[in-house]
């Protein structure tokens, strides 16, 4: 599955506008960047989601793999929710949604 640039931009806009705090939790909990102060989704493909984390004012690329190779766009939401829930569990944070 290849996501078109338009689809990637739509998903990134949604993640960055509506889930900015979730992005930080995902990067901290699953990306091993526990000092990230911010994170923006910067891209994705069928195997994972890319973020740009801010650590001490420096942009750091972080890749979080999906649990499986995606074959449909609708699977992205399921994977984003899974990543958020796993990140919360890893950090000992109660999910808010």
Q: For 5-33, how does the pLDDT look when each residue is reduced to its tens digit (9 = 90+)?
A: 999 999 999 999 999 999 999 999 999 99
Q: For 40-71, how does the pLDDT look when each residue is reduced to its tens digit (9 = 90+)?
A: 999 999 999 999 999 999 999 999 999 999 99
Domain boundaries, the chain: 5-91
CATH code reported for the domain at 5-91: 3.20.180.10
Question: Helix/strand/coil (H, E, C) string of the chain?
Answer: CCCCHHHHHHHHHHHHHHCHHHHHHHHHHHCCCCCCCEEEEEEEECCEEEEEEEECCEEEEEEEECCCCCCCCCHHHHHHHHHHHHHHHHHCCCCCC
């Amino acid at each position: 599955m290849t996501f078109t640039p338009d689809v990637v931009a739509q998903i990134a806009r949604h993640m960055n506008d509506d889930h900015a705090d979730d992005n930080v939790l995902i990067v901290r909990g699953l990306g091993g960047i526990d000092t990230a102060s911010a994170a923006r989704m910067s891209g994705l493909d069928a195997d994972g989601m890319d973020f740009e984390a801010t650590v001490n004012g420096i942009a750091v690329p972080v890749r979080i793999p999906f649990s499986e190779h995606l074959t449909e766009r609708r699977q992205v939401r399921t994977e984003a929710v899974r990543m958020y829930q796993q990140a919360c569990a890893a950090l000992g944070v109660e999910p808010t949604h």
